[in-house]
Amino acid sequence: MTRSQALAMCFGLAVYLGCASPSRPASADGAYRAFKRIGGAIAVGVEKPRYDQLLQDASAELLIFRDLAMDGTDSAIVRSYGLALEKYKDAGLLWAVQISSPIYPSVIETVASRYHLPQLMEHTTETHFRSIAAGGIQLIWEQAATDVRAADSVFLTRRSRP
């Protein structure tokens, strides 16, 4: 057997095994794990730079999964994870505003109205401004976690099938 024949045989075997596998594509597993990492980090406390990195990782995994989505169930998973990612990004945006300066009324008002967050009217000696009540980011995270659980449920049900 020549080297090229052996390589062709290995390639064919790899393709066969990949096509014959009833499990979800590796990208579905990647998206599932990426969103679990976000939830785990939030549960124990996460710093903003690490949070941003986790969002970037989840976004990349979700894009890969979306490109490889095979059917309507995959599309439902992508949709739910996508909704969660948008909420996590909005929470990150609100977090960034709160870190830099609470005086960004358009960002705060947009996020607050989207998630029905309570707003506070605050003032300094120079100006009046709106801010989000304590716990606003956590409320968005809770809404995102609901979307993640919906995607996880479909993913895990589908994965357990033969």
The domain spans of the chain are: 25-101+137-160
pLDDT in tens, 20-37: 344 545 568 999 999 999
108 CA to centre of own chain:
21
pLDDT of the residue at 11: 47
Rg (CA), the chain: 21
What residues contact 143, with CB distance under 8 A and at least 6 apart? 87, 115
Cα–Cα distance, 162 to 160 (Å, whole number): 6
Q: Answer whether 0.85 is exceeded by the pTM.
A: no
Write out pLDDT tens, residues 8-21: 454 444 444 444 34
pLDDT in tens, 46-63: 999 999 999 999 999 999
Q: Give the model's confidence band at 42: pLDDT under 50 very low, under 70 low, under 90 confident, else very high.
A: very high
Mean per-residue pLDDT over the chain, rounded: 82
